Amino acid sequence: MSATQMEQEALRPALTVLSEEEEMFRASFREFAEGEVLPRVDSMEKAGKLDPELIKQCFEIGLMAIETPEEYGGAGSTFFNAILAIEELARVDASTSVFVDVQNTLVTNAIKKWGNEDQRKKYLTQMAESKVGAYALSEAGSGSDAFALKTRAVDKGDHFEITGQKLWITNGNEAEIFVLFATVDPEAGYKGITAFIVEKDFEGFAVGEKENKVGIRASSTTELILDNCIVPKENLLGEVGRGYKISIETLNEGRIGIAAQMVGIAQGAYENALKYTAEREQFGGALNSFQAVQFQLAEMAVDIEAARLLTYNAARLKDAGLPFLKEAAIAKLYTSRVAEKVSSMAIELYGGYGYVKDYPVEKFWRDSKIGAIYEGTSNMQLQTIAKLITSGK
């Protein structure tokens, strides 16, 4: 057994055990989710946008800068604690969860790892205080084929001019800081992809329409339009032609965040079903007194526990600096399936009531579907897993 394998094995017995600090983090996130997010869920769903006061509160309690180092105004905490926050928020509302998720696991991590000191001091500090971040990679013709980018960046000496359109950008309406990818040389393929930090008020930058989605409706998913957008040279993130590496490594971490979101969705649907079946009477007894219902609830509990273990395992490996690519792909694939399955079962346990918007489980079901699509479709996760296992990794 190699040293790396021994280190990985040493982590496994403690996967389900949270430290005292982690327990405190979870408790505080749950209190916020139930006290501040839950009362707003219905109104945000109907309005199709997050409550501005809730966004402000997310900054005030440190949710938007969990891993950001203390010298830049953040909590200086772990990736695992960010995962706990994402899970607890999704247990109540997936839209709020993904809002916090993108800020922490994608934008902050990209700037923290690849930005220079001036960029970290400027943007991480702003994002810890009040500014929302977004991650702009996808385009109309480059979904799973993420590097078939059409957006072009032209070197103009003291600045770049970027022209193109981005699609499916989470936090598009709220964001003021965008980690955005464009190619400096379409003929160079992935070697031309370059990352930039783009501010919302840069000349030539505009946010397009918000998508009318099935789920996560309060989360803004928008188009970005760049028309000779002027980006200063100092806003180049990393090096020219290294954008592919930045995007791949950041998305690998982000997939664990999506897995945590799916675990939270499944847990929320399950808890609602558990409560409803205890209160609902049929044939002279509570629904959960029937073995058929008990078995369904047991299946849900088993699936959620397995999904949580996979997610926590990937997060622990990431924090330990150990390889986690396969584990992240497995976690995202499995948890997205579990979230959809468990929320669907919850609807069935509610019967006709589960199919109407007066009850919460139909929203968990709608919110779950995106897990199989964004930050890498299920087929792309299967491809990653297959490549790794067939190569012996």
270-324 residue pLDDT tens: 999 999 999 988 888 889 999 999 999 999 999 999 999 999 999 999 999 999 9
Q: Which two tokens stand for residue 46?
A: 């109907």
Cβ–Cβ < 8 Å for 313, 319? no
Kindly indicate the confidence band of residue 5, based on its pLDDT and cuts at 50, 70 and 90: low
Q: Which two tokens stand for residue 160?
A: 């770049």
For residues 384 and 353, membership in a common domain is answered with: yes
Supply the pLDDT for residue 247. Answer: 95
For residues 192 and 76, membership in a common domain is answered with: no
Supply the pLDDT for residue 284. Answer: 86
For residues 258 and 356, membership in a common domain is answered with: yes
Domains in the chain: how many in total?
Answer: 3
For residues 163 and 189, membership in a common domain is answered with: yes
For residues 165 and 236, membership in a common domain is answered with: yes
Is the predicted pLDDT of residue 325 greater than 60, yes or no? yes
Is the predicted pLDDT of residue 229 greater than 50, yes or no? yes
How far apart CA 352 and CA 372 sit, in angstroms, is 26
> At 35, which CATH number?
1.10.540.10
- Average pLDDT (85-97) is 98
Across the chain, mean pLDDT equals 94
Kindly indicate the confidence band of residue 7, based on its pLDDT and cuts at 50, 70 and 90: very low
For residues 231 and 324, membership in a common domain is answered with: no
Q: Which of 88, 112, 132 finishes a domain?
A: 132
159-186 residue pLDDT tens: 999 999 999 999 999 999 999 999 999 9
> At 305, which CATH number?
1.20.140.10
For residues 128 and 139, membership in a common domain is answered with: no
Domain encompassing residue 188: 135-241
- Average pLDDT (194-203) is 98
How far apart CA 371 and CA 65 sit, in angstroms, is 23
The phi and psi torsions of 135 (rounded to 5 degrees) equal -120, 115
How far apart CA 171 and CA 50 sit, in angstroms, is 10
For residues 222 and 344, membership in a common domain is answered with: no
Supply the pLDDT for residue 1. Answer: 46
For residues 7 and 107, membership in a common domain is answered with: yes
For residues 293 and 169, membership in a common domain is answered with: no
25-81 residue pLDDT tens: 999 999 999 999 999 999 999 999 999 999 999 999 999 999 999 999 999 999 999
For residues 80 and 147, membership in a common domain is answered with: no
Q: What is the pTM of this model?
A: 0.94
> At 212, which CATH number?
2.40.110.10
Termini Cα distance of the chain? 14
Report the percent of the chain where pLDDT is more than 90.
Answer: 88
Q: Which of 226, 241, 256 finishes a domain?
A: 241
Report the percent of the chain where pLDDT is more than 70.
Answer: 95
- Average pLDDT (124-140) is 97
Does 31 participate in catalysis according to the annotation?
Answer: no
For residues 154 and 202, membership in a common domain is answered with: yes
Q: Which of 73, 102, 132 finishes a domain?
A: 132
Q: Which of 139, 253, 340, 375 is catalytic?
A: 375
